[in-house]
Structure 1
Amino acid sequence: MGILREIGATYTPEKGTVFTVWAPQAEQVQVALHGSANQKIPLQREAFGYWTALAEEAKPGTRYTFILNDDLERPDPASRFQPEGVHQASEVTDQHNFNWTDRNWTGLPLEQLIIYELHVGTFTEAGTFEAAISQLPELKDLGITAIEIMPVAQFAGSRNWGYDGVYPFAAQNSYGGPEGLKKLVDACHAHDISVVLDVVYNHLGPEGNYLNDFGPYFTGKYNTPWGKALNYDDAQSDHVRNYFLQNALMWLRDYHIDALRLDAVHAIYDTGAKHFLQELAEHVQELEQQTSRSYLLIAESDMSDVRLLNPVEKGGYGLDAQWFDDYHHAIHTLITGEKEGYYEDFGKPEQLQKALEHTFVYNGLYSEHRQKTVGTDATFNPAQQFVVCSQNHDQVGNRMLGERLAQLVSFEMLKAVAGLILLSPYVPMLFMGEEYGEEHPFLYFVSHTDKDLVEAVRKGRKEEFKAFSWEGEVPDPQSEETFKKSKLQRSYRQNEQQNRLREFYKALIHLRKTAPALAKPDKQKMHVQLDADNLVLHLIHFSSKPYLYCLFNLSDAEQQATLAPQEGKEWELLLTSADKVWGGPGADIPAALQAGQPISLPPASLVLLQSKV
């Protein structure tokens, strides 16, 4: 593990600010201080093309740019704050001048995470970090133990999903910048809520992406959907790796973030001796020892490859967890009937059982959609290494009209699906508004200033939907109206049915936290049985007593089931989703049941039993 080189503007109260930038091809580099300091200071060249200088007069609030070869003026690639956006000067910040109140916070283990994914701009009307703080009591009441924030690295304009970031070290100015993010994290910890931050290390956005002016940050060795790949393994890649490793450590150390969600790691191309992800995991472990806090690295990958999770001694990269799409796809295709695009590999009932027992559905199988064999066997990887959901920003926002599940299936089915996520052995994640059936869509939106780029984005969105037979016009990503339509309404306060759905989610989350059988869910201590013809799923958790018996009817008709003899002889009713208290039509389920006894399951329902001890 190499020693990392500090980059960017580092302020020390007694000394001033040290500016460091990697520009290996430059003949000379200056830092231009703007405003009252107004001067240019030459930087000294050091080994490997790093340039550095101390400016005693540069203090927090000082705006600055780098000038390459007395000609090209650019913001700092490692800028901590871009107060006027991606094309203007960077600003010196004091990373350590914040009054943290979370000294006793040490983070939560994976198996205790109940994650709530949110987009800062649409989570509240104001769309800022500080506005999000006002909603934390609501999330705490729901039972959420972690929020996952979509990317906040500075992007062009004020509206974006965040995957177009071009200053990975700078918290978005329109959300409230570094100070706002720190306030939000500190407030989360005060509510015993962990913070997962989504970071993008596979590409940068198009507008304001000036990295190429400084050095070989990109390589032509690989093609990606976004152009040239980031240079993780070509000539001078050590310093590109340094850039992103320093970035990850900054979020964890300086912002007290608890976990990083690593976007699309299958597009991090690295054939070097030690993969970037392995090196990242090693540096994070070192930071854990220094800070006495625990951190988590959660990958997003479509490769179904346990190499991400396995320890280094087993040839893995040693990450903590990964998103698990197969479970989502298995559920979604069964309840909606959609089988187009990437859903064409799914839709068979037995895939749901396989996803519960063996995790990856494609575990060395041929995929019709990809036209190749996909995946590895994750049967013996612990369940807490996988994050599951029925909705997320991708699965909702990458639909042409951004419809949420509440627009696609019945109210009763929404409750059954909530059970499939919250009562699975995996780490559950909700998408903001899901818990009450938010009716506003979550659409794709941008606010670029380059007209050609805007046109290219519009065209690209239309192309993306060719594999689906969705009808209607693609909403204009550039329109502010598209963004406004995506904001949460929080209508459950006026809507009785939505409030009952939220209360149902709350009950399941409480059960997830308190039931001994779900304290440490274990795939090996779980019985799964599926009646594929009638879409009835039996799921029994028997890791601790009292055991939990989850019966799902995923069809739209009443179904007869017989209680399995496994793991328990006598059962008592805990809840049924069809109950009127949850806004259902009512159900007549006996309060006590015996193994082998028939039971009538209402359409689209969950019936939950626990064993008599």
Structure 2
Amino acid sequence: MSVGRFGPILRPDSATFRLWAPAASEVAVVTDSTHEMAKDDNGWFIAEVAAARPGTRYHYRIDGGLDVPDPASSYQPDDVSGPSELIDHSRFQWKAIDWRGRPWHETVILECHVGTFTPEGTYRAMIGKLDHLVSTGITALELMPLADFAGTWNWGYDGVLWYAPDHVYGTPDDLRELIDQAHLRGLMVFLDVVYNHFGPEGNYLARYAPQFFCAETPWGSAIDYRVPEVRAFAVDNALHWLDNYRFDGLRLDAVHALAEMGEPSILNEISRAVGVLARQSGRHIHLVLENDDNRAVLLDPSSSIPDGKYRAQWNDDYHHVWHLILTQETHGYYGDYTTQPRHLLARTLRSGFAYQGELSAHRGGRARGEQIGVLPPTAFVNFLQNHDQIGNRALGDRLEWTADARAIEAALAITLLAPMPPLMFMGEEWGATTPFPFFCDFTGDLADAVRAGRRREFAEAYETFGNDVPDPLALSTFRSAILAWPDFTRSLPRHAFVKELLRTRRDELTPHLANAAFASAELRQNDRLLIAYWRLGDNALLHLRANVSDHNVTNDASPMPGRPIWGGEPPARLPAWSVFWSMGAI
């Protein structure tokens, strides 16, 4: 048997069970009865079970003593250590049958966590919020990871069963219904996936397939993509989400932490496999990276079909420099942006990354990043907040807790109307103050280790805030993160502000963004007056003029070209935190 797909193969009157367990001597699949599996020379075990049907629960018995779930389980109704359930992915009756997605340049993302997005914390409860997203101007809903994790609350980055959407949020068909309803409303749905490690609880692979792993990382055992079966597991997983659930795209978490990518790299292979699916289905499918290494060579937003590269990268540089400007925080990685932060902001606006090969003090003085070359603005996903930048703080506090409201709105006016795809975190569109602290549901020694790790990481915060620092293992911490939805029949100034920005983006920018290109950005008036240009499609020129300070500044630049699309005509003296946009012809 050669390298092939993982997980059972359902037939009308039977199921073929497959498990790669090269370190096992004997494996049986256990349903209502026990079925011994035959082993080939490559470590694959196989058995045909006539009585197996959709809904049949099963597990694998390793060497007569260890019962484990299927690593490619499609559903775990009793959590990560319980039996797996056979799922027929072809049974769901899709209603948005003509949906083919949306082109990348139309993307406006709202990132959310299913368990805290609504009080119910389910896939189906999210459906009731989709009309709000559409009316706001969001075009893409991005879900934090769903791969089944241990316990009943978790961010999702501790998933151990990559193919199974976590049972605490609902069934696989509940997830499909959410995606189908989003598509009926014109919303894309993206999924965050984690291919650099497995979570620390409920992963049994090392017991029967230790070849999966090659090293240890801060998050868990690193994955060895030099092994063909391991590569197939990840590639098939990406296709599983995109095909069986019709997600419109994937965001690959922390690819800089991939220890062994293999040759060609696993990133290249995933992209090419997804490209085949996109070509066969005629769908727009978008792949995005999180990559602290700022590797521009991996990006290509202009190709209509993935072919080894990725549409875009989350631009941490853009966030970090704005966060420093808005809060004056300089600890940790913000220390890399303390020298002329507004000049670094200008650099992100004129060429994407702030770090394109410069030395990073936070990273021990080593060079970080690559020159972006001819990459367009659409290769960079810009944001002011996301799950990491809120949750990886001791209190899980949002910008609204500390930053000046006028400054936040200026940053939003720049972020949402610049030609880069913008991303917001759930509730940011109305100025939510609900915290989003780190939470997980581990027990015993693992729970103690997580608590101890957080205390080391945030020792100064524990000294300052003491018991106000939430316990990451407590149910109350999870509950505190449940989004407090407002009454939208009342006046919500921030929401109205964001809606108008996104309406302007849709009407004025989006028709021209497919062929956008970087042009220039500069600072005047003691680095307070920001002036930037971008060349868009159809010979359009987008112009920004903004006072990115809390002092009034003289507008000493020439008149803005074209017609105003936001803020009107800039006056001779620009008020603090004021933003003006215009559109003209080249």
Task: Output the TM-score relative to the length of structure 1.
Answer: 0.89
The residue that corresponds to 1:490 in the other structure is: 485
- Match in the other structure for 1:179: 173
Which letter does structure 1 place at the counterpart of 2:472?
P
1:183 positional shift: 0.7
- Structure 1 residues 110 and 468, CA, compared in 2 at 3 Å: closer, same or farther? farther
Indicate how the Cα distance of structure 1 residues 427 and 3 shifts in structure 2: closer, same or farther if over 3 A, else same: farther
> Compared with structure 1, are the counterparts of its residues 438 and 294 closer, same or farther at alpha carbon in structure 2 (3 Å cutoff)?
same
Q: Deviations over 1:289-331 (max 9, x none)?
A: 33222312111100011132269x9xx9412221111111111
Q: Distance in 2 between matches of 1:573 and 1:383?
A: 21
In 1, the alpha carbon distance for the partners of 2:253 and 2:88 equals 28
Q: Against the structure 1 CA distance between its residues 523 and 105, is the aligned structure 2 distance closer, same or farther, given a 3 Å change threshold?
A: closer
Please, which of 353, 361, 371 is the counterpart of residue 354 of structure 2?
361
Match in the other structure for 2:330? 339
Pairs within 5 Å for 1:71-470: 71-220=65-214, 222-233=215-226, 237-270=227-260, 272-309=262-299, 317-347=308-338, 348-370=341-363, 371-448=365-442, 450-466=443-459
Task: Please give the per-residue CA displacement for 1:58-99, whole angstroms capped at 9, x wherever unaligned.
Answer: 111111110111221111111110001111111111111100
Q: Structure 1 residues 3, 557: CA separation in 2 closer, same or farther (over 3 Å shift)?
A: farther
Q: Which range moves more in the overlay, 511-520 or 455-464?
A: 511-520
Secondary structure in 2 matching 1:552: strand
What secondary structure sits across from 2:210 in the alignment? coil
Gaps of 5+ in 2: none
C-alpha contact (below 8 Å) 1:388/1:428 kept by paired residues: yes
554, 561, 578: which one aligns with 2:548: 554
Per the alignment, residue 472 of structure 2 pairs with: 477
Task: Give the deviation of 1:362 after TM superposition.
Answer: 1.2
Deviation at 1:574, TM superposition (A): 4.1
Deviations 1:417-455 (A, max 9, x none): 11121122211111100011101111111112x211111
TM-score normalized by the length of structure 2: 0.93
Match of 2:4 in 1: 5
Q: Classify the secondary structure of the residue corresponding to 2:555.
A: strand
Instruction: State how far apart, in whole Å, the 1-side matches of 2:265 and 2:290 are.
Output: 16
Change (3 A) 1:545 1:524: closer
The CA deviation at 1:547 is: 4.4
Q: Secondary structure at the match of 2:64?
A: coil
Cα offsets for 1:470-515 (capped at 9, x unmatched): 831331011111111111112253764xx11111111111111111
For 1:238 and 1:287, how far apart are their aligned partners in 2? 20
**Structure-2 residue corresponding to 1:21:** 19
Residues 206 and 213 in structure 2, CA contact (< 8 A), matched pair in contact too: no
Matched letter for residue 457 of structure 1:
V
Structure 1 residues 516 and 174: CA distance shift in structure 2, 3 A: closer
- The residue type paired with residue 7 of structure 2 is G
Closer/same/farther in 2, CA of residues 25 and 532 from structure 1, 3 Å limit: farther
Alignment of 1:528-547 (within 5 A): 528-531=521-524, 533-543=526-536, 544=538, 547=541
The 3 A distance-change label for structure 1 pair 467 and 9 is farther
> How many residues were matched structurally?
576
Q: Distance in 2 between matches of 1:135 and 1:539?
A: 36
Matched residue SS, 2:131: helix
The residue number in structure 1 matching 2:575 is 602
2:333–2:362 CA contact under 8 A, matched in 1: yes
Secondary structure (helix, strand or coil) at the match of 1:529 reads strand
Cα distance in 2, alignment partners of residues 478 and 309 from structure 1: 37
1:191 and 1:171 mapped to 2: Cα distance? 23
What is the rounded CA distance, in whole Å, between the counterparts of 1:227 and 1:526 in structure 2? Answer: 43
CA change 1:217–1:296 in 2 (3 A) is farther
SS in 1 for 2:572: strand
Secondary structure of the corresponding residue to residue 329 of structure 1? helix
> Quick one: structure 1 residues 490 and 559, their matched pair in 2 at CA, closer, same or farther if it must change by over 3 Å?
farther
Structure 1 counterpart of 2:296, one-letter code: V
Instruction: Give the superposition deviation at 1:273.
Output: 2.5
Cα distance in 1 for partners of 2:207, 2:98 equals: 43
Measured at CA, do residues 117 and 72 of structure 1 come closer, stay the same or move farther in structure 2, by a change above 3 Å? same
1:516–1:545: 8 Å Cα contact kept in structure 2? no
Conserved 8 A contact 1:513-1:519:
no
Q: Residue 383 of structure 1 contacts residue 521 of structure 1 at CA under 8 Å; is this kept in 2? A: no
Bigger drift between 110-119 and 223-232 goes to 223-232
1:328 maps to a residue whose letter is: H
